[in-house]
Chain A
Amino acid sequence: MSVDVARPSPAARSDAVPARRRPPKAFDRPRFLRLFTGLFFVFLFAPIVLVVLFSFNSSRSLQNFDGFSLRWYERFFESESLRSSLLASIEIALVTMVVATALGTLLAYGLVRARTRWSGALNVVMLVPLVTPEIVAGASALLLFTQVGFQLSLTTIILGHITFSISYVTVVVRARLATISREVEDAALDLGATRVQTFRLVTLPELWPAILAAGLLVFALSFDDFVMSFFTTGESPQPLPVRIWSAIRFGVTPTINAIGSFMLAISLVTIGLALLLPRLLGRRESGMGVLLGREGA
């Protein structure tokens, strides 16, 4: 699980192909690459680091750091409405995780194991939610719910989240399932296990690292989703990202920084679990390998 940012280095490439026009000398030097990589990470993480840093600022200032304090976190947790938004977000993410993981796993199982003439087409159609612009998905979900007279509430948000999450689960679980030999399932049937027992006793134990990783991925996706939540949210409580967005319209306060940092922490922990749990629980492969559909990373 190393980060191979520097591997396809221009230097290596110019060695492999005796180029007629050699690139400028600076490109040959790893020093340039180091600088470039450094800049890349600064660009990527500087805003986030600033948000986290200023969430601990003791003053209201967003320019000067005046000393460490937890007052903005206190304010966040003291606010009744912010707390209910946080709980709503967690509830949405948990329900979405459970339902989407179950449905996505079943879909993956059907797609891999059922060999019909539709399987090819279905395998492609299943990917559509991944590439649909979320604003389109969100707007159409809103239209659908209002057309059928569905009151916008936490339920509508959860339904919206489930629709886009299923595909992620299916992609992750399907990759894993494809590595499990069908003969292993046949062997279980052969030894007297019914189809349901076979799934429970043989398929699921081989599959669960992928299911776990997919579930945690869905939790993270749902927890910080804004667009779908924005379209499908009702009066209150609004999920945290929508809540932050409405708050920002009345000016940025350091409390926003605290909320953002807190959300970041939750997401990092979730993804961290997705990567580490399979390994901690004694599986060969890392969660990263499972997420990327690799066998035994």
Chain B
Amino acid sequence: MSAITFEGVTKRFGEATAVRELSLDIRQGEFFSLLGPSGCGKTTTLRMVAGFEQPSEGRILLEGEPVETVPPYERNVNTVFQSYALFEHLDVERNVAFGLQRRKVPKDEIQRRVAEALELVQLRERGKARPRELSGGQKQRVALARALVNRPAVLLLDEPLGALDLKLRKQMQLELKSIQREVGITFLYVTHDQEEALAMSDRIAVMEDGVVKQCGSPEDIYEHPAGPFVAGFIGVSNLLGGVAENGGVRLASGVLCSADVPGDCAQGSEVHLSVRPEKIWIDDLEPGMSSVEGTIVERVYVGTTTQVIVELAPGERLVALEQNTSRARADDRWEIGERVRVGWHPEHSLVLR
């Protein structure tokens, strides 16, 4: 049985359509992310599951039951809000106990479960603190404990790490993932941070303008993006314009790069050839690689790697990532202005319409 099912869900606000004919199945126990730029409808989708918004068309099923008539306070889901939304007038323990008290859970059980939840998020000692005495990361943990303590069928997370600094965010990503594995609750996670989505999710749905562009595992989405939007949004992608031909793509410069052209892609139609930066080689190419010639225009040293930007033709650039191993530091190997050959294995390139 699915934890959440969307059946042709559309949500309109006046003239604007926030979500368009969304159909998705989210499995029980899955860590599922909705990924997209701001305004793509991901938060609206989440709010419809929570019950704060009603779909204009279609329906949502929670654990197989349609929920259009169920108000938010009777749905078996809980939300971790972006702003944490803690109750400032209650201490940490009473924040966490709020949901259990509404459901008339016996007092001693509330006490035990609140303690467990605070243990889970490592905040046992701060039970008597007021939210304003906590740091951002601690508030985040309280919000998480407050939602998890109710053991919902689905936990909804609306960019919960957005307000944290980078280091804390990385740490919380790992913690969230391990907490999810520990409690086994379905997580529906909304984020605009592709790295976050890749690091934590079992599956990701990439959204643009209210439409799911692709849904699959992180590896699927990264290695086989379904279109230019997904390829560009997930990680850095080099998109080279060209024309589909038998057995490859003819670039604007006239070079034919061999690639798998999808069957439904007519010959002569305009396509993009996509190659990930880490798959691009500079000089010392191997036989069988597709290759083009270009000029190095920029080198950016970023620690473990160096980004090398190669101009193939005016306005057409490629980004290549070179590992900075002790044997070869990319920023020593090439000079700006140097002519080089860049290449990639054909199986690492992807034809996108």
Contacts and interface: CB of A to CB of B under 8 A. Distances in A.
Interface in B197-222: none
Contacts of B98: 188, 191, 193, 201
B88 A206 contact: yes
Nearest to A187: B85
B111 interface: no
Contacts of A181: 83, 85
A194 B297 CA distance: 61
A202 B146 CA distance: 15
A202 B102 CA distance: 13
Given A197-B102, A206-B88, A206-B89, A190 B83 contact: no
B85 A192 contact: no
B229 interface: no
Residue picked from B71, B89, B103, most chain A C-beta under 10 Å: B89
Given A192-B73, A192-B99, A193-B73, A186 B85 contact: yes
A189 B51 CA distance: 9
Interface in B47-105: 50-52, 71-74, 77-79, 81-83, 85-89, 98-99, 102-103
Interface residues of A, number: 18
A105 B146 CA distance: 29
A183 B102 CA distance: 18
Contacts of B132: 284
Contact of B78 (A190, A193, A201, A205): A190
B150 interface: yes
A191 B155 CA distance: 12
B83 A183 contact: yes
Interface string A187-216: 111111110010001100110000000000
Contacts of B86: 184, 187
Nearest to B74: A192
Given A190-B50, A202-B87, A206-B88, A183 B81 contact: yes
A85 to B, nearest CB: 41
B102 A193 contact: yes
A190 B86 CA distance: 12
A241 B74 CA distance: 55
Contacts of B81: 183, 186-187
Contacts of B74: 192
B88 A191 contact: no
Contacts of A194: 71, 73
Contacts of B78: 190-191
Contacts of A186: 50, 52, 72, 79, 81, 85
Contacts of B50: 186, 190
Nearest to A185: B85
Contacts of B88: 184, 206
B72 A189 contact: yes
Nearest to B50: A190
| B51, B73, B77, B79 pick with most chain A CB within 10 angstroms | B73
Interface in B117-157: 132, 146-147, 150
A188 B78 CA distance: 10
A191 B87 CA distance: 12
Given A183-B82, A191-B102, A192-B102, A205 B72 contact: no
A181 to B, nearest CB: 6
Contact of B79 (A187, A201, A202, A205): A187
B79 A190 contact: yes
A188 B132 CA distance: 18
A201 B89 CA distance: 10
Contact of B85 (A184, A193, A284): A184
A193 B98 CA distance: 9
B155 to A, nearest CB: 11
Nearest to B78: A190
B46 to A, nearest CB: 11
Contacts of A189: 51-52, 71-73
Interface in B179-235: none
A23 to B, nearest CB: 46
Nearest to A184: B85
Contacts of B72: 186, 189-190
A191 B89 contact: no
A205 B91 CA distance: 13
Nearest to B98: A191
A61 B71 CA distance: 73
A208 to B, nearest CB: 9
Given A183-B82, A206-B88, A206-B89, A191 B52 contact: no
A193 B132 CA distance: 23
Given A183-B85, A192-B73, A205-B87, 20 more contacts: A183-B82, A184-B86, A184-B87, A186-B52, A186-B79, A187-B79, A189-B71, A190-B79, A191-B147, A192-B74, A192-B99, A192-B102, A192-B103, A192-B150, A193-B73, A193-B98, A194-B71, A194-B73, A201-B98, A202-B87
30 contacts: A181-B83, A183-B83, A184-B86, A184-B87, A186-B50, A186-B72, A186-B85, A187-B81, A187-B85, A187-B146, A189-B52, A189-B72, A190-B73, A190-B77, A190-B147, A191-B78, A191-B99, A191-B102, A191-B146, A191-B150, A192-B73, A192-B99, A192-B103, A192-B150, A193-B73, A193-B98, A197-B102, A201-B98, A205-B89, A206-B89
Across the A-B interface, give the 4 residue pairs with the lowest CB-CB distance, nearest first. Answer: A192-B102, A191-B99, A187-B85, A183-B85
